[in-house]
Amino acid sequence: MASFPATRHSVVAGIASSDPQVRRVAFDTLISAYWRPVYKYVRIKWHADRDDAADLTQEFFSRAFEKNTLERFDPARARFRTYLRVCLDGFVANEHKAASRIKRGGGVSFVPLDFAAAETELAGLHPSPGDNGASVPGADDDTFFRQEWVRALFTDAVAALHDLCVAAGKETHFAVFQRYDLEHDTGARPTYAQLAAELGIPVTQVTNYLAFTRRELRQLLLERLRALCATDAEFRLEARDLLGVDPR
Amino acid sequence: MSVLSDAAIRRLQEAADAPDLSGTKYVALDRIAQGGMGTVYRVRDRELGRDVALKVIRLPEASPDIAARMLREARTLARLEHPGIVPVHDVGRLSDGRVFYAMKLVRGAPLDRLPTSTLADRLRIVERICEAVAFAHAHGVIHRDLKPQNVMVGPFGEVLVMDWGVAKLVGDVSSLGSLEGGGEVADLVVEAGAPTTGHGVVLGTPGYMAPEQAAGDPALVDTRADVYALGAILRDLSHGAIADPGPKSRRATPARPLEAIIQRAMAAEPRERYQDVMALARDVAAFRAGEPVSAYRENLFERARRFTVRYSTPILLVLAYLVMRITLLAVRGR
């Protein structure tokens, strides 16, 4: 998995930097956050086969880097995520028209992208997309792209949380989080008492460990989100959307 | 790590936004509502063994101004001890830094989801809202966001005015005090007389917001803005249940006096409205009781009709007595 680079400054500002090093780091960060949704979007919404989707994904970022496409983003007009998707649509449409996909993945190389892993994710979420992709019923383009972007963001934050817990010797903390918040897609969520018995810790520790991991996850998510937004207003809007789930 | 399902992401979204209640006497039970600046959870108070509602500032709104506003809401509520205003039990900061306050867990339904009831019942609800709002006005608090969604009606008919987050304080607010450890939050709150809403910032809800409030100048907003909103609530309720008013063609047209009350309460110019909430409440109560209202001048026919309706029982008794007497006289005369 391409990990999220350490920088937490606004990536959107960074890609417009005159300093090549800053710009490069910003692009790496941007790609780390967006390549999965971009790949899945091209696969599903543009019905591209695996190889084409992988090529188009690499070429999209490569072209954006070379031609400064993303630097023209105007925060007053849209969210960055929406702008990026619109750019992607334009890019893929042009590629289809020109049918000139001979030299993709061009001269610039970025963080390594694990397309096989993305394909496995896609197969798990949208069964049988097939080699030519398939449409996802009920999801418009923007909803689908956002959904996959959120998934990438959470996947990355959870991986970072895991690394953080392991590094700090808090594996049991992560185990509590994993059992209580991550797993049980099927079946009931375990009770605190069940978890305490399962992991051999007092019930009070279960709630403390959960509070710790949730706090860290929140921090990791907000850090990443802040880096991917151009303005404070956009950050607040995205964060509110991201964490403001409807009451059940 | 395996791919995160949509269900797992929803759980993580909730988990990330969940308040960190460690070190408090509360245990989270479930999320019950979400407002503009805070999320409300049902929590168990372990010490008192009761469930309460805990309002926690939403992420990422932990900025000092939003925190100050929520704290101000808690303190505003705390000094308004009235059966029609939800009582606050506790206020503070969670270990994750977010401001919270605990309040009574209100059971029931918001006014906009109230099932069908009689007009008299609905008018009584309006009167009770007026009583709570008038009490707040008397204590220097203007609600500024009165609407059906912000009024809860309990299972025993109790009426509670909620969501005082954008309330305006007038007069001396120094009694609000400061929150220990609240630093910048407290500083913002106790600046007596300082406007907390900037010029051009519109707070309120379209359809219930008085024109002067919609203009965005807080200096223009006084208690009569709440009168306007109450008029809008009365308008909604005069047609039937807000949740299910029925087809437009079959909705009850309010009687002329009631229509006049609504119009006066919702006059565009504040000086043409009821000048205080209790004046509105008195007119609503008078209408409900079949008495004349100050907002409407009746003609002779309407007055006679209202008199007849109001005193229908004694009139019928007198008529029955007269018919009986005449009949007896007629029988004796044969």
Q: pLDDT for A86-108, tens place per residue?
A: 999 999 988 877 765 555 555 55
Q: pLDDT for B97-145, tens place per residue?
A: 788 999 999 888 889 888 778 899 999 999 999 999 999 999 999 999 9
Does A221 contact B at CB distance below 8 Å? Answer: yes
The answer to whether the CB of B117 falls within 8 A of the CB of B109 is: no
pLDDT on residue B179: 37
Which residue stretches of A72-131 are H helix?
A: 80-98, 115-125
With CB atoms and an 8 Å threshold, state whether A218 touches B16. Answer: yes
Q: What share of chain A is helix, strand, coil (3-state, %, to 5)?
A: 65, 0, 35
Q: Is the model more confident about B174 or about B84?
A: B84
Residue by residue, DSSP assigns A232-244 as: HHHHHHHHHHHH-
Q: Report the C-alpha dihedral over residues A224, A230, A236, A241, rounded to 10 degrees.
A: -70
The answer to whether the CB of B159 falls within 8 A of the CB of B125 is: yes
User: Who's near B15: CB < 8 A, 6+ residues apart?
Assistant: A177, A181, A210, A214, A217
Most confident of A39-48, A163-172, B67-76, B185-194: A163-172
> How distant is the Cα of A67 from the closest Cα of chain B, in angstroms?
33
Does B29 contact A at CB distance below 8 Å? Answer: no
pLDDT on residue B190: 28
Q: Which residues pair with B152 in a beta bridge?
A: B110, B160
Does A247 contact B at CB distance below 8 Å? Answer: yes
As a whole number of angstroms, the distance between CA B115 and CA B111 comes to 9
- Residue B148 pLDDT level (bands cut at 50, 70, 90): very high
Residue in chain B lying closest to A212 (CA): B20
Q: How far apart are the first and last CA of chain B?
A: 108
User: Who's near A103: CB < 8 A, 6+ residues apart?
Assistant: none
The answer to whether the CB of A206 falls within 8 A of the CB of A192 is: yes
> How distant is the Cα of A120 from the closest Cα of chain B, in angstroms?
8
User: Who's near B102: CB < 8 A, 6+ residues apart?
Assistant: B26, B43, B45, B52, B53, B54, B55, B88, B89, B90, B91
With CB atoms and an 8 Å threshold, state whether B20 touches A215. Answer: yes
ipTM over 0.90: no
Most confident of B69-78, B194-203, B221-230, B253-262: B221-230
Global pTM? 0.67
Does B16 contact A at CB distance below 8 Å? Answer: yes
How many residues in chain B?
A: 334
Cβ contacts of B7 on chain A, cutoff 8 Å: 185
Nearest to B12 among A1, A181, A244 (CB): A181
The mean pLDDT value for B48-74 works out to 80
Q: pLDDT for A21-39, tens place per residue?
A: 888 888 888 998 899 999 9
Report residue A228 CA to chain centroid gap.
Answer: 10
pLDDT on residue A109: 64
The mean pLDDT value for B24-31 works out to 87
> How distant is the Cα of A242 from the closest Cα of chain B, in angstroms?
7
Cβ contacts of A185 on chain B, cutoff 8 Å: 5, 7-8
Does A178 contact B at CB distance below 8 Å? Answer: no
With CB atoms and an 8 Å threshold, state whether A242 touches B13. Answer: yes
Q: pLDDT for B153-174, tens place per residue?
A: 988 889 999 888 788 888 655 5
Dihedral of CA B225/B231/B236/B237: which sign?
A: positive
> How distant is the Cα of B50 from the closest Cα of chain A, in angstroms?
20
